[in-house]
Structures are given as structure tokens and as C-alpha cells.
Structure 1
Amino acid sequence: MPAEAGAVAAEAGAVAVDAARWPDVARPPKASRARTAITAAVVRRALRDLPLHVRFPDGTSLGKGGPVLDLRDPRAFHARVGSQGLVGFGESYMAGEWDAPDLVAALTVLAARMGELIPAPLQRLRGVWAQRRPDAQRNTPGGSRTNISSHYDLSNDLFALFLDDTLSYSSALFRGFPADWDLLAAAQHRKIDRLLDLADVREGTRVLEIGTGWGELAIRAAARGAHVTSLTLSREQAALARERAAAAGVAERVSVELCDYREARGTYDAVLSVEMVEAVGAEFWPVYFRVLDERLAPGGRAALQAITMPHERMLAARDTFTWISKYVFPGGLIPSVEAVAETVRDHTQLSVTRRDAYGAHYAETLRLWRERFTGRADEVAALGFDETFRRLWTFYLAYSEAGFRSGYLDVQQYLLTKEATPR
């Protein structure tokens, strides 16, 4: 993704953007003076009462003090936010039109007040101004393959630059805070082992894993003597997971299949799925949980790890085209605790036997990933990822970390059980 001759710079001169690669970032959308002025007034009203210090190019500032947010190009920022809401907010950061010395701190302030930033009258008109999710991102079998590939097939080498040696791309479980990079791999194993214990995985257990990642859970399950069938739609992940299973000496007990979860067959004693439900989409949550039910033998146990968000915010976001769905996880939607409970209750014979939340651990996991990613920016660039991509991923990791630090996001480990005698 190297920048080409057609790159253009944001007005503030901060970032040269390849217009061919990033057309919606290269130039702000055209917006009328009236719309831009209205947006500026709404933004200023929202910012003036926040514990932020918002600095403008003319030397003026807003806010009640706190983390600094530098608004380098207010006109472009207001044009983007007025036309595209939070999508424009993220694209404005990618373009360098605003920045923050402590990005996570600034975003945490905003995340903690997510439901209050837009005035109530505009919230009620959300269906008019918010962009709708494109049909192309629906998680049909074909759509899921495209959506998964766009993120997980970027480059195994890219993920290896900021993940620990386990290549686990989900929340770790630490003994205490602050977390240290040298303890991350052990914390990932602690998370995996807890899920395996919840599912009672042991010698001879037949395990179905939905969402392979790079294979660490399957490898650890096989090391206990289990036989694992692991499903993924990512060719990059599948290839490396097989290599890692072979290197660990458990290839004969791990089968990694390029297969949609809806195509799974057979019966298993345990089903495990780590941060997969977020990629399914609300439309297909009933299908996903029915697959867990159908593949699980009577008396079996399913252990899931899932990111969750407040129910009312999930309902507002479920049909909206967000910055995350545009640039990071197309087709994705984070469920609420209520949505998981309702779907399990209404569409399966499973019972939610246990649920444990540990969002603070995800904030620390993301901090370690973000610091590693930004600290190895030169190596990311050497892989062919340009500055706009690096700002995109820095924003994604910081935005996610802020969500957990503010309590807007949480992460849960679930135990779902199936009665030995069907109801």
C-alpha cells in the first residue's frame, strides 16, 4: 500500500494521503456552509462541557480541562462530522485534521459520554442522517468470507509485529495491573486455559472450535489430549495455524478447516468460540447459536468469549454504517449481554450457566498491542502499509482501548450447557 504520486495532503499538512487507496480520507466531503456552521455549533456545544482541552489553530480553546485534543483543521473536521458522523470523525483523524498527545485519554472522555454527545432531537432523527450498512457487508456465507478476509488476511507478518508469541488476538486474563508485555503470553494462556476448563476439555474430548485465530487454543486443547476440529474462513490464519500445530507436535489431533460455521457437521463434547460472535452480525446470531446447540452432544458444554456493549447502544448501531465496519471489521456488530441471553433462550436448548466479565483486562491487552504497534511503525511501513493505514490502526486500537477503559465496552466469558436429556 505505498503512497503514490497522486497523494494529497490534508490542509494542516500533517498526513499525505494516497487518494487512490483512501479516496474518502484524501479530501473532506463537500458540505454547504450552513451545514458546516450548524455542525460546528453542535460540536462546540458538546465540547465546551467536557473534561477535555480542545485547542484550535487560532489559539482559542474549549472544554473544562483534561486530555488535550488538537483540532488542526476545523473546517474539514466539521464538514466530515456533519456529513458522516462518527465515520467522518475517524476519517478526520486518519487525514491528520485532528490529533491528541494522549489519544486514548481523549477518546476515553468521549466514549464515556457517547450517548450524550449528539443532542436528543438529532438522536431521534438518527434514521435520517446516519448511513445504513451496505448490503454487501451482510454475513451470508459468501459475504462472511469477504468480510473475514479483508481483516484477517491483511498479513500474518503484520499481526506478528504487535501480538505476543501465542498470536492470540483476543483479551488476555492478567493476575494484576498494570500489565507488562513480558507477562502477556502467560495471560493469554491463562485466558485459554480458563475457557478449556469451563468446557471441561480433557483427554479424549471431541472439540469444535469456531474461529481458529492462529491456532493457540486448538494447540493447547490438543496438548490436553483432546481432538480438535477448528473452523476458519481466513486462508492466512489456516495455513499458519496448521504450521504451528505441527511445530507443537499435535498436528494429528488438530484439524484446521476452511469452513463457514454454518457448514459444520458432527457432534462434539465441547464447543469453543473466542470473540467470533462479533463477526456474525445480528441477522445471523440465531443461526450461530443454533449451530452451537446442534453440534453439541447432550450433556456437552460450550465456552465462549464475547465483547459486549450496552443494549440501547447496540440497538442504535445495529443498522448503522460505522467507522469500524467501514475500515476494520466489515459486517461486524458487538452484541449486548441482553441480546446474547435472548438469542440463546429463544433459539436454542442451551442454558447460560455462567457469565464472567473482565473488561479492564481487555483495556490492558489493547494498550500493550497499541504500544507495540506504534513502537514498530518502521517495521509496519516496511511491510508496505502507508502512514494512513498506520493512523487507521492506531486509532482502531486506541478507540477500542478507550471503549473498555470508559466501561462502554466489556468482555465476557460464557459457559453454555446442554442437558443430557433434551427438553
Structure 2
Amino acid sequence: MKIDLAYGKTGLTIDLPDDQTSIIEPQFIPGLPDDLAAIKTALRNPIGILPLRKSIEPGQSIGISVCDITRPMPSKIILPVILNELKHIHPSNITIFIATGTHRKNTHSELLSMLGEQAIGGGYNIVNHDAFNRANLTEVGVTKENIPIFLNSDWIKKDFKITTGFVEPHFFAGFSGGPKMIAPGLAGFETIMRLHDSDMISNPNSKWGITHGNPIHDSIREIATLFPSDFTLDVTINKHHKITSVYAGEMFQVHKAACEFAHFTAMREVSEPFDIVVTTNSGYPLDMNLYQAVKGMSAAHQIVKKGGSIICAAECSDGIPTHGSYGEILKSQVSPQSLIDMIESSDYQKHDQWQVQIQASIQMENDVYIKSDNLSLDQIVGAHLLPVDDISTKVSELLSQKYPNGTVCVLPEGPQTIPFLRRVGNGRTIYK
């Protein structure tokens, strides 16, 4: 059977044996027939609080937190509607914060493609959050787990704060969007490091789709409770990046509703694990680099047998990438086991260690192949991955040489579909 994979901007087609292959995709929900009207309706009929337009007085300073370029958030559609509701506020009093977390600064061309001409050319302030610049951060307290809370100073000072988020299952925080647009989105490096330390990442509840009892989600929620947004708008999208639902109002009520919808559409229960799982990282922009592609590997890991093989197709137009410490950490050790030993040592702390920890944990149990037109052989080997030129040929080889009568599963949309095993004999993955 021919299967179209989400890969870069153009896609990739593979051909696998019909009788041995299963395909798992998110439940397709068509885009809203009039997303602009839906957004306006949500802003004017919010959950739990007053409509946005009635919540803000002229002269107040406004902060709006938005996703960075690594997320397919339809900010170009959402922002004009929000800004139209704020026509009584002078543009110079409105700041749009790019919630980068520890990601790189977004370029002007990326900001234009993300936010649109009205936001870029309308006299609004645009701020790329910088988690590493202590001069632009304020320490505002500590969590119950003694995590220091550093937040963007300009954001804290705003009279009225608005968060906008894209909600989907997240591989260790449960779900994206909602409170994540404050922390880690607008948090300082020290806060982010503690939210992503090895104990947090290795906790069995730090999983896709789990919020209750997830220590990472609990800490993020605690920070957002101490320093909440005044108004939240969260959306879900389909594989065509069309808006499928809109929720606005009080942050936690909004996020809960969006998470329930995302769980219904994106998470799929399967009865048995597979020998081979072919996955993606949902195409551009999510597969811009190998760092992000770990999410696609993690989605596949939920349903592959121990000793099975994962093949991840990710274009990686931005490479490893060059920014951050992910690539440096990977190359610092000779094996996934030595990476885990290093990261879990008590004195180790380095930016991006969480992504390496998750990747190495997967590689400890499975062979992981990468199909990428932008990574060199040295880069692939340096990441302890196995190269593959043609996915169809590689699957055929694995079935004939390693897994006779084996089973294959394909996740064409990568982590936009999160499969899970309700019962696993070896106890690796249990969702409740």
C-alpha cells in the first residue's frame, strides 16, 4: 500500500506490504467553516470571565503570549481578531511576546509569516523572549518543589496578560498550550532547567496525554496559578493546520476543555505493540530539526516492541540544529547508555538535556533510524541514529532479515497521533 507521510513542506510517499501494515491517524476533524467568526464568538462569550473587550480599560498595557516558529499555531489568523477586540487600546500599549522558552530567536521573516502584516506593521511591540538574559528576567518566588520562578520582566509588568496556545498531546508535559505559554514559554533558563531535570523527565507520569499526577504539568500549572494570564485563547488544529476548535476565557477551564478535545481526536488505543513503527514529526514546521523530531520517535516508542525498530522521517531543514546544546550533548558520549548515566548523575545540568534523555532512553530499547534529506551521515551517526535512504526498502529488509512475519505500524502524522497501549506485559507504558 502507498502511504503519504508528513515530511517537510512537500510530503513523502512510501510503499509497504498491505497484509502486515497498520496505519494510525488522528480522527480527522474538518476545519471550522468560519474560523474568524468562531474566534470572535469565543472572545465575546468566554468561559468563566468577562468578554475580552469588556475586560480591558483604555490606557492599560497589554501583553499577548504567542507560540514561536516551531509550532503550527495559526497566530496569523487569531491575532487580527484579538487585536480588533482591542481597538480601544493604542498599539504602542500592546506587546506581542514570542514564547520561545529556550528556543532561538525568531527572525523577521519568520515573525512576518507567523504573525502577519497587521501585527508586524501595525505599531505593536514585538518581543522575542530570551530565557538566558537575566537582565530581562525577574525572580518572583519558588514552587512547592523548590523550583525558582524566573519570568520575563516585561511580561510581569503588563496590566493585562493574554495567552494564546495550540493544544495537542505533549511527550512529557501531558498537553501543550494553556499554562505552557507562561512557563516554560516566558520563563528563565534556571526555571526551565528545573522543569526539565532528569527526575522530572524519568517520572512514569511525565507522558503524552497525562496531566493529573504529572510532576512537570503540576509545576507548570503551579507557576501559572501564582502568576496567571487574565485571558486565554487555546485552539486545536487538524493535519492541514486548520482550526478545529476554539476555547477562550479563564486559563485552566479553557485548557481543560481543549485538552479533552485533543485527547478525543489525537490519542488512539491499540491492542498489541508492533515490530516496526514508521513515524514522522508532522512535517514543516514541526520537523525543522532533529531536536524536534524526538517527539515523533517518542510517539512511535509508545507502541513498538522492546527490541523493535523505529523509522522516523523528518526533513530537518534547520539541521540538528546549530543552536542549543542538544547536538553537543549527543556527541559527548559514545552510546545512549553513557548519555543516560551522564544526565542522571547528580551534578549534571545542561540546556537540552531532556531531549537527549528521552531520545537515549528510546535508543536503549529500540533501533532508531532517521530519514532526512538535510542531515549528513556524520550528523546521523553522531546522534547515535541509523541512516536510511529509502523507508520502503528498509522496512522490507527488516521484515525479511529481522522480523519474519513481523508487524508494521505507520504514524503518517507523527505526534499529531499518539497511540497508546492500555495493557503492556512488560509494564513500559500504562495509560489510565
Q: TM-score, normalised by structure 1?
A: 0.32
**Which is helix-richer, 1 or 2?**
1
TM-score, structure 2 normalization: 0.31
Report which of the two has the higher share of strand.
2
